[in-house]
Amino acid sequence: MAKANSDSDTETETDANAGNGGEHDGVRIDLISGERLDDLASMEKVRTILDGVRDGNIVVLEQGLSPDEESRLIEVTMSEIDPNEFTGIEIETYPRPDSGGGLFGRLMGRNDTAKLTVIGPADRIQTLHKDETLISALITRR
């Protein structure tokens, strides 16, 4: 029985190390920490997200993008849509809590990005429910 567990562990490690090119029977989810995002420039964040989604992965960001970065992500996505290869993205984010800064805060450039964001291929992810505390989505295999 210990040998069976060892073989199973080896298979799991091999699958995990296979990268995007490996054949998997499931959905890959990339959980990206806020710390990793902080080390990237805006366009690097957009490319990291889009490259993952184009590979068919679901990308979950620990902290969200700024409004400018989110706009840039949508802009770049629109330029890369190809009906035969890439149908676009689905993006869901917890609503921003009202920080009390109002219009003045937005005009002064205050951006609160501390929110969970889920991004995936438009043809594989469907939002079932979203409110300020829950995002429920159906993710299908290819």
Instruction: Say if 65 falls within a structural domain.
Output: yes
Contact of 5 with 31, CB cutoff 8 Å: no
Name the average pLDDT for the chain. Answer: 79
90 lies in a domain?
yes
Is 64's pLDDT higher than 60?
yes
pLDDT at position 18:
46
Q: What is the pLDDT of residues 68-120, one digit of tens each?
A: 999 999 999 999 999 899 999 999 987 665 555 555 655 655 555 568 899 99
Percentage of the chain exceeding pLDDT 90: 46
37 in a structural domain:
yes
pLDDT band of residue 31 (cuts 50, 70, 90) is very high
Q: Is residue 22 part of a domain?
A: no
Q: What is the pLDDT of residue 27?
A: 87
**For residue 46, what are the CA distances in angstroms to 6, 33, 128, 140, 141?**
39, 15, 25, 23, 24
Amino acid at 110: R
Amino acid 108: pLDDT: 58
pTM: 0.71
Write out the residue range of the structural domain in which residue 66 sits: 27-139
18 domain-assigned: no
In a domain, 52, yes or no: yes
Please report whether residue 78 resides in a domain: yes
Report yes or no: 26 and 141 within 8 Å, Cβ to Cβ. yes
What confidence score (pLDDT) does residue 109 get?
58
The total number of structural domains in the chain stands at: 1
Q: What is the mean pLDDT of residues 26-49?
A: 94
Residue with tokens 């990793």: 36
Distance of CA 125 to the CA centre of its chain: 11
* pLDDT over 70, % of the chain: 69
